[in-house]
Structure 1
Amino acid sequence: MYVADRTWPELGEYVAEESVALIPLGSTEQHGPHLPLATDHLIAEGLAREAADRTGYLCTPTVNVGVSPHHRQFHGTMWIDPPQFRDYVESLTRNLAYHGIDRVVYVNAHGGNVDHLREVGRRLRDDGTMYAIEWMWDESIPDLVEEVFEHNGPHGGPKETAMIQHLAPDLVREDRLEAARDGGLADVETAEFLQKHGARTFYDAIENSENGVFGDQTDATAEIGERLFEAATEQLVRLLEWLDEQRLDDLLAPAHVDPQPGSRRE
């Protein structure tokens, strides 16, 4: 159920029976010479809307701009600074709590959002508002991703290329796949990243990849993208069903171990 397509009485009927919602989040940032800047939020929205359709749970509009300052050197990249991103997502999620939602899945497709979404989830859990967790699509199917690609990449690589070939094929510059591979970092495992004596000495994607992407994009196909999409959707549906079955009290922050602070004071 997509919230923006519904009337308020229809949503009243939903919250009278259900308390689960999905919030898709991505980014608007460079994904090399072959993929659109919309890549991450297209993937997040596609997965969230499909899982919502299959389960009947509520899906909100997509957060299209995320924490992406590490791609800022490339034209068109947009970003929100981490404190503002966390506050925005927290405020948005509290909207849902006001209307009766008490458990949320952040359907995420951008690595730069992960830590900040987990921090928001902790805030909401610790003050007893709700249980909100971050879910990253490719982390739900790591074995399949490893199986289908010889040279995967963490950004703009074959897994994201295949997903967009499946979801929005008209947006993939198929004639630029070889250029993406050759101008980026094709074999991530053998690369010598800028690290010295145990310290990571780089901050931005351009420091490791001239065109901003990693992996061998020529391995991607729409058929593989469909497999990835279906497998990830199945995992998301299972997560939602598990979440709905839990008692809220079991999801919220546990109490302090006994004795409780101050319990011996007179």
Structure 2
Amino acid sequence: MYIADHTWPELGDYVAEESVAVVPLGSTEQHGPHLPLATDHLIAEALAREAAERTGFLCTPTINVGVSPHHRQFHGTMWVDPPEFRDYVESFTRNLTYHGIDRLVYVNAHGGNVQHLREVGRRLHEDETAYAVEWMWDESIPDLIDDLSEFNGPHGGPKETAMIQHIAPELVREDRLADARDGGVKDMSAIRDDNFVHGARTFYDARENSDNGVFGDQTDATAEKGEELFEAATEQLVKLLEWLDAREFAELLPAGHVDPQPGSRR
């Protein structure tokens, strides 16, 4: 159920029975010449809404702007700095806990958000406010992603292209797929060879590695592959939500200090 479509009494009925929510998060940033800036938050919202529809759990509005300064050289990219992003998501989450939610999945579709969402989850777990976990759709189905494309890429590649071809085909510039491939980096092994020196990662921004900001072979993407990816990722998210719902909240709290407890021998 989508929270913004319901009245407050209806939401009261929900939290009287359930305490699980999904929070979709993405970005508004460049995704090459063929995909919209909305790519990440479109994917996150579609997956979260579908999983909520299948399970009946609560879905919140989408957080559309994330931590994306590494794409700042490309027109239109928006970002917030990490401390502000973490504080906003934490405050957003504490708002939900005030209304009775104590278990959340951050349905994330942007790599730049990952470490910050995990940090927010750690804070909430440490003070026993909520159990919130970050879930990245492509990390839930790595084998399928590898099977579907010979040249994958972490950004604007065939997996994201296929997902948008499935979710919002009207937003894909199909006539620019070859441009995306030829103007970017098709084979990611070159990046690994050229940008790690004596064990140190020597780059910060996408622009340093790819002239058009994307990686992989976008011409290998199809809407049919996108549908397969979407269904497989949704299935994993549904299973995660069901697992989370089956846990007693006390099971999810931090473990106690090992014995002897501090001060116990005084």
Fold equivalence (TM over 0.5): yes
Is the aligned partner of 1:208 residue 2:222?
no
Alignment TM-score, normalising by the size of structure 2? 0.99
Matching of residue 230 in structure 1 with residue 256 in structure 2: no
Distance 1:242 1:90 in 2: 23
Q: 185-194 or 10-19, which moves further after superposition?
A: 185-194
CA RMSD of aligned residues (A): 0.7
Aligned length: 265
Q: Report the alpha carbon displacement of residue 17 of structure 1 after superposing the two structures with TM.
A: 0.2
Structure 2 stretches of 5 or more lacking a match?
Answer: none
Which 4+ runs in 1 deviate beyond 4 A? none
What SS does the corresponding residue of 2:75 show, helix, strand or coil? coil
Contact 1:193 1:208 in 2 (8 A): no
The residue number in structure 2 matching 1:194 is 195
1:243 is aligned to 244
Deviations 1:211-245 (A, max 9, x none): 00000000000000000000000000000000000
Kindly state the Cα deviation for residue 190 of structure 1 after the two structures are TM-superposed: 3.8
- Partner of 1:254, secondary structure, is coil
Q: Name the residue aligned to 1:257.
A: 258
Counterparts of 1:38-117 in structure 2, within 5 Å, are 38-117=38-117
Residue 78 of structure 1 and its aligned partner are, at CA, apart by 0.4
Q: Decide which moves more: 249-258 or 114-123.
A: 249-258
Q: Could you list the per-position Cα deviations for residues 178-206 of structure 1 after superposition, in whole angstroms to 9, with x for gaps in the alignment?
A: 00000000010243332211111110001
SS for the counterpart of 1:132 is strand
The aligned counterpart of 1:118 is 118
Q: Is the 8 A contact 1:109 1:136 kept in 2?
A: yes
Quote the offset at 1:8 in angstroms: 0.2
The code of the aligned residue for 1:144 comes to L
Q: Secondary structure at the match of 2:194?
A: coil
**Corresponding letter in the other structure for 2:212:** N
Q: Percent of counterpart pairs with the same letter?
A: 79
Q: Superposition pairs for residues 94-173 of structure 1, below 5 Å?
A: 94-173=94-173
Unaligned runs of 5+ residues in structure 1 are: none
Equivalent residue number for residue 178 of structure 1: 178
**1:127-148 CA distances to partner (integer Å, 9 max, x unpaired)?**
0101000000000000100000
